[in-house]
Structures are given as structure tokens and as C-alpha cells.
Amino acid sequence: MIPGKIYTPELILQIAWRRKWWILIPALLIAGGVAGWTRKLPDMYRSDTLIMVVPQRVPEEYVRSTVTQSISDRLQSITQQILSRTRLERIIEDLNLYPDLRKTQIMEDIVEGMRGDIEIQVVRGDSFRVGFHSRDPRTAMRVSERLASLFIDESLRDREVLAEGTNQFLEAQLEEARRQLVDNEKKVEEYRRRHEGQLPTQLEANMQGLHNTEMQIQTLIDSMNRDRDRHLVLERALADLTAAEATPAPVAPVAPGQTVLTAAQQLAAARSELQSLELRLKPEHPDVVRARKHVAELQQAADNEALAQPVSSENAPVQSAEAIRRNRIDEVKAELANLDKQIADKQQKEQQLRSNLGNYQQRIEATPTRESELADLTRDYGTLQSAYQSLLAKKQDSQLAANLERRQIGEQFRILDAAHLPARPYSPNRPRFYGIGLAAGLGFGLALAGLLEYMDRSMRTESDVRAALKVVVLATVPLIEAPRKTSLAFKAAIATAAAGTVAAIGAVVWYLR
């Protein structure tokens, strides 16, 4: 190459024409070598099966499937299972694949090669293709059919196993939740039984019982007060009877036409009035106190009147008065003993009522604590019951989904396009290889021509002289070569081009192998 030389398109075309044999011969040789190599490549056939994902035939509003994986995820999982060494080795043995390789290679290498011959491609969101490459078209079809059936069977088995596994898991969880719920129910029942009477639901009954007990105690106290008052009156009467002498009682004057009431009659009327007042008024009311005092006075007068009654015989008054007095003393003592017994019984009943009152108060005071403890237990019970109901609903849905998969009416893989017997090979693409070989040959020839031009320092034109020598050209003489020299140069060029082409073809063949 001459320094400073400018290469125009016209000059480049002249160079290409001058070195046309260096370009054409390598191009033809390389293209021919690639064509020959391509012709020796074995024909490869491919058979595909189009599989479509058919949704479940029962609407999901009624039965929701337990398989929630996307098609791509499930397809990837099933592909890993089918492309396992065990599955592929069984297919190789059943269909007698790779008989020549099985004689020279180990099974692991053959299985790895078979994985490369299998092609799985998702076409749309609801379909995918399963293909196999083989030198024999019938083998390609048979393997494609076998792989498609494996995908369908594996999908059904995986869905059924997943549904059954989900169902069994939920059943175990449901049984555990049921056990916890029963245990909590037993705890609540035991707590209610242990703290009977102190529960929040019994607070109103305890308050009512407390109020009733207080009223009973107050009524009993009032009754004992009346008994004690009566006891005092009787004690005073007994003392009077014991100390009294048998003297006649003075008789009050009576007006003409007036009815005279005896002391006993007045006593009966006073007692009736006292009872009426006690029903309406409190024991400490002044009217009640006054009536009691009046009854006591009339009782004393009645006792004296009874002692002053006359008899018919002379000795009878003394004996009758003494007998009446003693009888009266006995009656008073008997009534006092009866009152003592009544007061003792009422005191015992009061103690019992006060004990009941303490129990009611203790229950009422313990109710807030029991309410808090019971709230914790019932809160746990509510949580467990909600979890149990949720698991029960899920278990029922899972059971329906498992039945759906068992009856094979759930989501399924269905062959939409069965594997066919390929009529022509899909590989190698010989026209493409021919074009690549020709392009490679032309590229090699152009590169060789460029290399020769780079190494050539001869001056062929006036512009070459001016560019190289920087002088004015006075005249140019055309090149006149002898025929023998031209022939030798041509032969040398052809030999050089052929040698370079052969070397290039050899390198390409070695690389491709």
C-alpha cells in the first residue's frame, strides 16, 4: 500500500476487478465445501403435540379448586418430573431409542442428550407444545405421543395428590381444633361448677337474695323485740302475782244504764288494737309503745280481777284465789318458757340468715374477679370456635375439591393437536447454510484481496507516483509483460488462492466438528 494514497469507490472497484480471482476462487471453494459438509449432515425430524388446559366443568362459584398454581408453574413442576433420569431412561428402554449411542456411551450422557432433543414451549396462557427431535420421523412421533400422555397423567395425579393432601391436612387441623375446643369447653364448665354462685350471670340473683335476707333479718329482729317486750311484761306480771296478796279489788262505780267491761275484755280489745298498730307502724313508734304499755296495765288489772272473784262457801274464797293465782303463775311461766324457746330459735335463725348474708356479700364481691377470669376463658373459647368453624368450612370445600379431582371433572390437560408423522426434516436448513457458506467465501476472498493490496507497494497509475514521490510526472509508459510471465503469475495466484481456500475450509470443518 502506498502511503498517502486515496481509495475512491472507482479505485476500489478497479482493485476488486484486478484481484477478482483472489475473491471468486475462495468464495466458490468455501461455498462448495460448506455445501458438501451440509449434505453430509443427517436429517432431523420434529413431531409436536399441542396440549390445551381445559378448565373445570363445575363453576368455581360452587366448588373452588385447591390447586391455585398458575399453568406455567405447574408446567415447570411437571416438566422437572418428566425430564427426570428415571422417566427418560424408561422411555429410552421402552421405545428402544439411541441404539447406537447405548453401545458406546453411558446412560447418563444419553439421558442428557435426550433432554436436549425434547422441546416444551408455552404457546398461550392456556396451551403448550411438547416436541421431540429425532433422525427417524416415526420415532419423533412416538416419543412426542408418549411425552404428551405423561404430561396428562402427571397433571391428573399431581392435582389429585395435592387435593388429597390438602384435605388430609385440613382434617388433621380440624381434629386438633375440635380437641382444643372440647378442652376449653371442659375448662369453662369446670370453672362454672367450681365458682357456682359467683358468676356474673348470677349477680342479679345474688343481689335479690341479699336484699331478701336483709329484710328477713330485719323482720326477725322486729319479732324478737316484740317477744322480748312480751317477756318483760310477763316477768313483771309474774313478779306481781308472786308478791300479791288475796285482797279484793276495788269496784268502780257504774252509772245507771252503762255497760261495765271487765278487765279481761278491755285487755282483749287493747291487744287487738296493738296488733293493728304493729302491722302499720314500726316497733319504736310512740303509738305502738303507748299501746304496749296500756296492754301491760290491762294485763295486770285482769290478773287482779281474776284473783278478786267471790265464791259460795266460806273457805272457798281463800282456796279459789290461791288456786287461780297459782294457775296464773303456771300459765305465765309456761308462756315465758315458750317465749324463751321462740327467742332462742329466732336467734339461731338470725345467725343462719346472717351467715347467708355473708355468703351473698362474698359472692357479690367475688363477681368482678370471676367475670374477668371467665371473660378470658370465653374469649379463648370464641377464638377457638371461630377457628373451628373456619376450618370446618375449608374442610368441606376441600372435600368437594378432592371429589372433583377424583371424578376427573376438574382442570385437565387435553390434546388439541396430536403428534403427526413429519413429512420433511426441519433440520438442517441447507439453503441457509449455502448462503452462509457463500457469504463466508466472499468475505474471505475480499479479506485476502485486501491483504494482498495492503502488501503491494507497486505504483500503477500517475496518481500513485505523485502520492509516493511528490514529483511532477512528465510521461507514463504502459506495462508490457511477456505471455510466459503473465501465465506464471496467473498460475501462482491461483495456487495461492487455492491453498488459502483449502486451509480456510479445513479450519471451518474442524471448528464445526
Q: How confident is the model at residue 150 (pLDDT cuts 50, 70, 90)?
A: very high
Q: Residue range 149-158: average pLDDT?
A: 87
Give yes or no for residue 447 having a pLDDT over 70. Answer: yes
pLDDT (0 to 100) of residue 349: 92
Q: How confident is the model at residue 194 (pLDDT cuts 50, 70, 90)?
A: confident
Q: Which three cell numbers stand for residue 220?
A: 326477725
Residues in the chain: 513
Instruction: Give the tens place of pLDDT for each residue, 220-269.
Output: 899 889 888 888 888 887 887 787 544 444 444 444 444 445 667 777 77
What's this model's pTM, rounded to 2 decimal places? 0.50
Distance CA 45, CA 3 (A): 57
Is the distance from CB of 356 to CB of 233 less than 8 angstroms? no
Q: Residue range 107-113: average pLDDT?
A: 91
Q: Which of 4-13, 150-159, 171-180, 421-430 is predicted with the least confidence, judged by mean pLDDT?
A: 4-13
Distance CA 117, CA 132 (A): 6
Q: Looking at beta carbons, which pairs linking 75-83 to residues 24 or more positions away fall under 8 Å?
A: 75/120, 75/122, 75/128, 77/158, 78/151, 78/154, 78/155, 78/158, 79/120, 81/154, 82/147, 82/150, 82/151, 82/154, 83/115, 83/118
Torsional sign, CA 343, 346, 352, 353: negative
| Eight-state DSSP code of residue 135 | S
pLDDT (0 to 100) of residue 258: 42
Residue 421's CB is within 10 A of a number of other CB atoms, namely 11
Q: Residue range 431-460: average pLDDT?
A: 79
Nearest residue to 264 (alpha-carbon basis) of 279, 249, 283, 286: 249
pLDDT (0 to 100) of residue 146: 93
Q: Which helix (H) or strand (E) holds 52?
A: strand 45-54
Q: Residue range 177-205: average pLDDT?
A: 86
Nearest residue to 317 (alpha-carbon basis) of 328, 301, 306, 327: 306
User: Residues 318, 319, 322, CA angle at the centre, nearest 5°?
Assistant: 85
pLDDT (0 to 100) of residue 508: 52
pLDDT (0 to 100) of residue 130: 92
pLDDT (0 to 100) of residue 316: 42
Instruction: Give the tens place of pLDDT for each residue, 41-54.
Output: 777 889 999 988 87
Give yes or no for residue 39 having a pLDDT over 80. Answer: no
Going by DSSP bridges, is the β-strand pair 45-54/118-124 parallel, antiparallel, or unpaired?
unpaired
pLDDT (0 to 100) of residue 19: 76
pLDDT (0 to 100) of residue 437: 81
DSSP string, 55-76: PPSS-TTT---S----HHHHHH
Instruction: Give the tens place of pLDDT for each residue, 491-506.
Output: 666 666 566 566 556 6
Domain ranges of the chain: 9-40+440-512, 204-369
Quick one: how many helices (H) and strands (E) in the chain?
14, 4
Distance CA 449, CA 453 (A): 6
pLDDT (0 to 100) of residue 402: 72
At residue 367, φ and ψ (nearest 5 deg) are -60, -45
**Residue 269: CA count within 13 A, CB half-sphere:** 6
Q: How confident is the model at residue 148 (pLDDT cuts 50, 70, 90)?
A: very high
Q: Residue range 150-173: average pLDDT?
A: 84
Angle between helix 20-40 and helix 9-18 axes, rounded to 10 deg: 70
pLDDT (0 to 100) of residue 138: 92
pLDDT (0 to 100) of residue 501: 61
Residue 281's CB is within 10 A of a number of other CB atoms, namely 14
Q: Which residues contact 309 (CB under 8 A, 6 or more apart)?
A: 320, 321, 324
Distance CA 144, CA 418 (A): 9
Q: Residue range 207-227: average pLDDT?
A: 90
Q: How confident is the model at residue 469 (pLDDT cuts 50, 70, 90)?
A: low
Give yes or no for residue 511 having a pLDDT over 50. Answer: no
Give yes or no for residue 485 having a pLDDT over 80. Answer: no
pLDDT (0 to 100) of residue 414: 85
DSSP string, 157-169: HHHHHHHHHHHHH
Residue 153's CB is within 10 A of a number of other CB atoms, namely 13
pLDDT (0 to 100) of residue 91: 92
User: Could you write out the three-class secondary structure of 93-125?
Assistant: HHHCCCHHHHHHCCHHHHHHHHHHHEEEEEEEC
Give yes or no for residue 71 having a pLDDT over 80. Answer: no
| Eight-state DSSP code of residue 314 | S
Is the distance from CB of 417 to CB of 48 less than 8 angstroms? yes
Name the average pLDDT for the chain.
78
Instruction: Give the tens place of pLDDT for each residue, 300-351.
Output: 777 776 665 554 444 444 445 677 778 878 888 888 888 889 889 989 998 9
The DSSP bridge partners found for residue 73 are none
Q: How confident is the model at residue 284 (pLDDT cuts 50, 70, 90)?
A: confident
Give yes or no for residue 373 having a pLDDT over 90. Answer: no
Better-scored residue on pLDDT, 275 or 82? 82
Q: Residue range 477-490: average pLDDT?
A: 59
Q: How far is CA 424 from CA 36, 145, 305, 372, 420, in A?
A: 20, 19, 152, 85, 12
Q: How confident is the model at residue 57 (pLDDT cuts 50, 70, 90)?
A: low
Q: Which three cell numbers stand for residue 19?
A: 484481484
Q: Which of 119-123, 201-205, 358-362, 482-486 is predicted with the least confidence, judged by mean pLDDT?
A: 482-486
Distance CA 137, CA 425 (A): 8
User: Residues 327, 331, 335, CA angle at the centre, nearest 5°?
Assistant: 170
Q: How far is CA 242 from CA 228, 330, 333, in A?
A: 21, 11, 11
